[in-house]
Chain A
Amino acid sequence: SQWGEENLQALSIQEGEDVTMNCSYKTYTTVVQWYRQKSGKGPAQLILIRSNEREKRSGRLRATLDTSSQSSSLSITGTLATDTAVYFCSNSAGNKLTFGIGTRVLVRP
């Protein structure tokens, strides 16, 4: 993908642990979004971070954006079994989003 890219990963962690996933992109972007997709559902937005922000928090989620290295990360603290999902980063040209392959996270109870 020319845009948001994560190396496809599968992470298995124990409930309560923290997890961080990374994403890099090749073209200029003004906005990076992270989405989560649970089994059998469509993706749902978790957090949006703009190019003038270095960090954004929402509950147990923390996203970072480094425009100089064109990379973003999403961290989840104190994971729950319900955090089991595939996580995507995306960046946008206007309203048109391009997505990475995703990071599959399994949180074991």
Chain B
Amino acid sequence: DAGVTQTPRHEVAEKGQTIILKCEPVSGHNDLFWYRQTKIQGLELLSYFRSKSLMEDGGAFKDRFKAEMLNSSFSTLKIQPTEPKDSAVYLCASSLENTGQLYFGEGSKLTVL
């Protein structure tokens, strides 16, 4: 079975641009998560979907970050407008409901100049 697929693996953006990161979860998984990873803060939850419904939108990340899940096999994370402090690795993960185990993609490394 294919794991979680994230694209692009690397993205370089100018400050103020809009970027869209994509994620395909493991087939059949009904929970999907977006995390941001930095050396200082570690893994921070941005968004959490269950069966395509947004369960949590990450509080502090609301204003410029928007995650969507239009179908069960595809999710996007839009950052608009980007700022240099958004430079990080963005990880997508999926899981089966109530199993507790997350399967992560390899991440999208974003650099904002």
Contacts and interface: CB of A to CB of B under 8 A. Distances in A.
Interface in B44-58: 45, 48, 50, 55-56
Given A95-B48, A95-B98, A99-B43, 8 more contacts: A41-B107, A42-B107, A44-B104, A94-B98, A95-B50, A95-B97, A97-B33, A97-B100
Given A33-B100, A33-B101, A94-B98, A42 B45 contact: no
Which size class do A's interface residues fall under? 20 to 34
Interface of B: 4, 31, 33, 35, 42-43, 45, 48, 50, 55-56, 91, 93, 95, 97-107
A105 interface: no
Dominant SS among interface residues on chain B: strand
Contact of A98 (B45, B100, B104, B107): B45
A8 to B, nearest CB: 8
Contacts of A41: 106-107
Contacts of B45: 96, 98
B69 to A, nearest CB: 15
Nearest to A94: B98
Nearest to B3: A42
B73 to A, nearest CB: 18
A42 B103 CA distance: 8
A28 to B, nearest CB: 15
Contact of A96 (B42, B48, B103): B48
Given A42-B105, A48-B101, A102 B42 contact: yes
B43 A45 contact: no
A1 B42 CA distance: 9
A42 B56 contact: no
A13 interface: no
A31 B99 CA distance: 10
A59 interface: no
B70 to A, nearest CB: 21
